[in-house]
Amino acid sequence: MNDTDLLARCTAILPGHRALSPAETFAAMAAWCDANGVAHDVYGEGALVQDFERKVAAVLGFEAAAFCISGTMAQVTALRLASMERGRAPVALHPTSHIFVHEGSNHQLLDHFDALWIGERHRPWSAADIAAVPDRLAAVGLEIPMREIGGQLTPWDDLQAIKAHCRARGIHLHMDGARLWEAAAGYGRPVAEIAAGFDSVYVSLYKGIGGLGGAMLLGSAQFVAQAARWFARQGGRLVHQSPYVAAAAMQFDARLAAMPDYFRRTQFLYGVLADHPALKVNPARAQANMLHVHLPVGRERALEIRREIAREHGTWIFYRINHGVLPDTSYFEVYVGDNLLDMPDGRVREAVAALARAIG
């Protein structure tokens, strides 16, 4: 039996939200649009899109927001504009920045901006990392939380010091807030307080929110208007943005309201994992509703174990598995969402115990 069939037969999935079929998704969107009298926008002009842009801007405490078809386009556009405004000075990015890891050097090949690799791969930035850069910087791009190192957060005092440093030197401070909604519970602060002091913020409409895709870029009204023109220049101005906005808007409030519950469930999972010392977690304590679980077996063996647990227990432990830094090690990401929230405690313990037994 292949992995697709095994997954379909599982009655419990550990990470993420429950995946809806296209028919279920479109039916829910149709019902919501009908109930709310939604009409299509035309190139972003229309009540649905513009009202939702204003709503997200208000939640995060910014003057304006613009829908963008992808976070990839939103982020490089924001940082390009910051660099252009400051004489094409370079942008500081963490080694695990999405721009470096997942975007195929688009910043370089498409002549958006020059980037400097700042800080250490396995820990968040400190304020000292930024202050030590001798070059003139146009912008600093900071991810909150940092997905590639398990959802770690820059310590609050360091975050405030980075904000002050950039403000004092006229450096544009941009947030990769793809999972900003998830960071609020970890910081114990509202998202607007986290975002205060940033010049621009990108948030995803499909990761934690569960929409079909798309993003918002937030900042001053002037900056956002300029970015929107650049979205159009890059082919990002869709004739109808309403499907993407409706898919996010119809569940936006409920998803944000659930984030504290996801975080508490993450803390519960940490407690379960602590009973099995062979399963190493990163970060050491919950900082957002996501984490990495490191295994003392190689990637191929981990995939075999996933199949065994799926066959024997009907539980899908993880989706993607990565090679570890050391030989014969691997790690996977757990995003704590509706699946784990709804899974009985006993079944969570059973699944984790089965994983621990299988790795020996």
pLDDT for 323 equals 97
Instruction: Please tell me the distance from the alpha carbon of residue 320 to that of residue 148, in angstroms, as a whole number.
Output: 13
- Amino acid identity for residue 97 in this structure: S
pLDDT for 344 equals 97
DSSP 8-state symbol, 147: G
Q: Would you kindly state where each structural domain of the chain is located, as residue ranges?
A: 22-250, 256-358
Structure tokens at 233: 């220049």
Q: What is the pLDDT of residues 236-295, one digit of tens each?
A: 989 999 999 999 999 999 999 999 999 999 999 999 999 999 999 999 999 999 999 999
Going by C-beta distance under 8 Å and a sequence separation of 6 or more, which residues neighbour residue 263? 182, 185, 186, 286, 288, 289, 336
Instruction: Please tell me the distance from the alpha carbon of residue 236 to that of residue 69, in angstroms, as a whole number.
Output: 6
Structure tokens at 35: 């109930």
E strands in 5-80: 12-13, 64-68
pLDDT for 81 equals 97
DSSP 8-state symbol, 318: -
Q: What is the pLDDT of residues 284-325, one digit of tens each?
A: 999 999 999 999 999 999 999 999 999 999 999 999 999 999
Residue 134: cis peptide before it, omega within 30 degrees of 0:
no
Q: Are 38 and 246 in contact (CB under 8 A)?
A: yes
Query: What value does the mean pLDDT of the chain take?
Result: 95
Q: Is the pLDDT of residue 108 over 90?
A: no
pLDDT for 73 equals 95
Q: What is the pLDDT of residues 6-20, one digit of tens each?
A: 999 999 999 999 989
Q: What is the pLDDT of residues 335-346, one digit of tens each?
A: 999 999 999 999
Does the domain formed by 256-358 have CATH 3.20.20.70?
no
DSSP 8-state symbol, 151: S
Q: What is the pLDDT of residues 59-86, one digit of tens each?
A: 999 999 999 999 999 999 999 999 999 9
Q: What is the pLDDT of residues 87-99, one digit of tens each?
A: 999 999 999 999 9
Average pLDDT on 154-176 reads 97
Q: Is the pLDDT of residue 330 over 90?
A: yes
Helix (H, G, I), strand (E, B) or coil at 21: coil
| 229 phi/psi in degrees, rounded to 5 | -65, -40
Instruction: Please tell me the distance from the alpha carbon of residue 146 to that of residue 165, in angstroms, as a whole number.
Output: 20
Closest CA to 130 of 100, 174, 191, 87: 174
Q: Are 129 and 170 in contact (CB under 8 A)?
A: no
38 DSSP β-pair partners: none
pLDDT for 111 equals 87
DSSP letters spanning 102-116: TSTTHHHHTT---EE
pLDDT for 1 equals 75
Helix (H, G, I), strand (E, B) or coil at 356: helix
Instruction: Please tell me the distance from the alpha carbon of residue 284 to that of residue 237, in angstroms, as a whole number.
Output: 42
Instruction: Please tell me the distance from the alpha carbon of residue 254 to that of residue 248, in angstroms, as a whole number.
Output: 10
**115-117 and 91-93 beta bridge pairing:** parallel
pLDDT band at 109 (very low <50, low <70, confident <90, very high): confident
For Cα atoms 269, 208, 267, give the angle at the middle one, nearest 5 degrees: 15
Q: What is the pLDDT of residues 168-221, one digit of tens each?
A: 999 999 999 999 999 999 999 999 999 999 999 999 999 999 999 999 999 999
Q: Are 102 and 91 in contact (CB under 8 A)?
A: no
Neighbours of 168 (CB within 10 A): 8
| 102 phi/psi in degrees, rounded to 5 | -125, 0
pLDDT for 360 equals 81
Q: Which CATH class is domain 22-250?
A: alpha beta
Q: What is the pLDDT of residues 2-52, one digit of tens each?
A: 889 899 999 999 999 998 999 999 999 999 999 999 999 999 999 999 999
